Structure 1
Amino acid sequence: MISSRHLYSAGLGLSLSFGLNLASFAQTNFVDQQQAYNFNRIATFAVCRQLDENCNTDTETSAEIVTASNDGNTLIYSNSPYQSLGFVDITKPQQAQALGELKLAGEPTSVTVLNDWALAAVNSSQDYVNVSGQLVIVDIKTQTIVHQFELGGQPDSIAVSPDGNYLGVVIENERDEDHQATEGKPYQMPAGEFIVFNTQDPDPSLWQMKRVALTGLADWYSDDPEPEFVDINSQNIAVVTLQENNHIVLIDLKSASVINHFSAGSVDLEHVDVEEEKPALVALSGNLKGLAREPDGVTWIDDQHFVTADEGDLAGGSRGFTIFNRDGVVVYGSGNSLDHLAVQLGHYPDSRSKNKGNEPENAEFAQFGDTPLLFVNSERSSLIFIYDLSDINQPQLRQILPTAAAPEGVYAIPERQLLIAASEKDDRGDKLRSALNIYQYAKQSPDYPSLVSVIEQQRPIAWSAMSGLSADLKDPKLLYAVNDSYYQQNQVFTIDTSHYPAQVVAALSIKDTNDVLATTPVVTVDAQLSPEHPERRNVFDSADLSAMTNADKTVNIDPEGISVSQDGGFWVASEGAGTVGDDKRPVMSSNLILKLDDNAVIEKVIQLEPQLNLNQQRFGLEGISEYQGKLYFAIQRPWSMQNFTQIGVYDLASATTTMLNYPLDNVSSPNGGWVGISEITAIGEQQFLVLERDNQSGPDAAVKRIYKVDLSQLSEGRNLTKTLHLDLLKDTRNSALSFEKYEGMARTIDGALYVINDNDGLKDNSGETQLLRLK
Structure 2
Amino acid sequence: MLSIRSPLLIMPLLAAALMVLTPPVQAAGGLTRLATFEVHRNLAADEPRETTTAAEIIAASQDGQTLVYTDSPAERLGFIDIAEPATPKPDGFLALDGEPTSVAIVGGTALVGVNTSADYRHPDGHLAVVDMTTRQVVARCPLGGQPDSVAASPSSDYLAVAIENERDEDRNDGSLPQLPEGYLSVLRLDTGGRPSDCETPTRIDLTGQAAVAGEDPEPEFVDINGEGQVVLTLQENNHLIVADLASGELILSTHAGMVDLDGIPTEERRLNADGELRDVSREPDAVGWLDDSRFVTANEGDYQGGSRGFTIFNRDGEIDYDSGNALERLALTYGSYPAKRAHKKGVEPEGIEVWGERRLFFVGLERAAAVAIYRDQGPGQAPEFVQWLPTGVGPEGLLAIPQRDLFVVAAEEDDPEAGLRSTVSIYRWSDRVGEPAIIGEDGDGQPIGFGALSGLAADPDAVDRFWAVSDSFYPEARLYRLDARRQPARITAVTTLKTADGGPIDLDLEGVAPRRAGGVWVASEGKPDAGRASEILGVTADGIITERFTLPTSIAERMGNYGFEGLARLLQDGQERLAVIFQRPLEGEAGRARLGLLNPETGEWRFATVALQAPLSPANGWVGFSEITPLADGRLALIERDNQSGERASLKRVVTISLDGVEPVAADQAPPHLTTQPLMDLLPALAGGHGMVVDKPEGMGQLADGRLLVVTDNDGVDDSISQTYLLRLTPPDA
Q: TM-score, normalised by structure 2?
A: 0.92
The separation in 2 between residues aligned to 1:720 and 1:56, in whole angstroms, is 40
SS at match of 1:390: coil
Deviation string 1:228-267 (CA, Å, 9 cap, x unpaired) is 0000000010000000011111111111222221111111
Deviation of residue 452 (structure 1)? 1.1
- Conservation of the 8 A alpha-carbon contact between 2:165 and 2:180: yes
Equivalent AA in structure 1 for residue 283 of structure 2: E
Contact 1:490 1:554 in 2 (8 A): no
Query: Residues of 1 paired with 2:276 and 2:495: CA distance?
Result: 25
- 1:283-682 matched pairs, under 5 angstroms: 283-368=272-357, 371-392=358-379, 393-447=381-435, 449-455=436-442, 459-513=446-500, 552-578=502-528, 586=529, 588-628=531-571, 629-640=576-587, 641-652=589-600, 655-682=603-630
Q: Which has the higher mean CA deviation after the structures are superposed, 433-442 or 133-142?
A: 133-142
* Residue aligning to 1:4: none
- CA shift at 1:203, angstroms? 7.9
Residue pair 1:484, 1:490 contacting (<8 A) in 2 also = yes
Q: Give how far 1:606 is off.
A: 1.6
The answer to whether the Cα contact below 8 Å between 2:270 and 2:342 also exists between their aligned partners in 1 is no
Cα contact 2:106–2:193 (8 A) shared by 1:
no
Residue 143 of structure 1: aligned partner = 135
> Is 1:742 matched up with 2:731?
no
Preserved CA contact (<8 Å) 2:290 2:296:
yes
Quote the Cα distance in structure 1 between the aligned partners of 2:111 and 2:322.
Answer: 33
Rounded to whole Å, the distance in 1 between the matches of 2:703 and 2:110 is 54
Is this contact kept in 1: 2:464–2:704, CA < 8 A?
A: no
- What amino acid does structure 2 have at the position aligned with 1:636? Q
Partner Cα separation in structure 2 for residue 228 and residue 205 of structure 1: 22
Q: Is 1:726 the counterpart of 2:680 in the alignment?
A: yes
Superposed CA deviations along residues 178-222 of structure 1, whole A, max 9, x for unmatched, are 01xx32022111110111111035483633521111111111111
Does the 8 A contact of 1:630 with 1:650 survive in 2? yes
How many Å separate the matches in 1 of 2:375 and 2:729?
33
* Offset at residue 654 of structure 1 (A): 5.5
1:191 and 2:181 matched: yes
Identity, % of aligned positions = 39
Tell me the distance in 2 between the aligned counterparts of 1:456 and 1:733. 31
Contact 2:465–2:481 (CA under 8 A) maintained in structure 1: yes
The Cα offsets for residues 535-558 of structure 1, whole Å up to 9 and x where unpaired, read as: xxxxxxxxxxxxxxxxx4353311
- Give the CA deviation at 1:89: 0.6
Match of 1:757 in 2: 712
1:207 equivalent in alignment to 2:193: no
Say if 1:386 and 1:400, in contact at 8 Å, map to a contact too. yes
Q: Which segments of 5 or more consecutive residues in structure 1 lack a partner in the other structure?
A: 1-25, 515-551, 579-585
How far is 1:770 from its partner? Answer: 1.0
Q: Which residue of 1 aligns with 2:264?
A: 272
1:132, distance to aligned residue in structure 2 (A) = 1.1
Q: Secondary structure at the match of 1:679?
A: strand
Decide whether aligned partners of structure 1 residues 203 and 307 sit closer, same or farther in structure 2, where only a CA change above 3 A counts: closer
* Aligned twin of 1:540: none
Alignment of 1:151-170 (within 5 A): 151-170=143-162
Q: Structure 1 CA distance, aligned partners of 2:427 and 2:166?
A: 33
- Counterpart Cα distance in 1 of 2:158 and 2:547: 72
Any idea what the Cα deviations from partners look like across 1:508-566, whole Å, max 9, x if unmatched?
1112125xxxxxxxxxxxxxxxxxxxxxxxxxxxxxxxxxxxxx435331110001123
Q: 1:306 to 1:55 in 2, by over 3 A?
A: farther
Aligned pair partner of 1:172 in 155, 164, 176: 164
Q: Distance in 2 between matches of 1:763 and 1:562?
A: 24
| Cross-structure match for 1:42 | 34
Distance 1:667 1:56 in 2: 21
Question: What residue ranges of structure 2 are gaps of 5+ in the alignment?
Answer: 1-17, 665-670
* Alpha-carbon offset, residue 353 of structure 1: 1.9
Q: Give the CA RMSD over aligned residues.
A: 2.0
Contact 2:36–2:691 (CA under 8 A) maintained in structure 1? yes
Which secondary structure state, in structure 2, belongs to the residue aligned with residue 309 of structure 1? strand
> 1:752 and 1:745, CA in 2 relative to 1: closer, same or farther beyond 3 A?
same
Cα offsets for 1:450-496 (capped at 9, x unmatched) = 11111477852222111100111132221110011111211110011
What is the rounded CA distance, in whole Å, between the counterparts of 1:452 and 1:52 in structure 2? Answer: 41
Higher RCO (CA < 8 A, seq sep 6+): 1
Whole-angstrom distance in 2 between the partners of 1:176 and 1:572: 48
Q: Which moved more, 1:619-628 or 1:695-704?
A: 695-704
Deviation sequence 1:46-92 (CA, Å, 0-9, x none): 10111279997221111110110111110001110111101001111
Q: 1:766 to 1:295 in 2, by over 3 A?
A: same
**Corresponding residue for 2:668?**
none
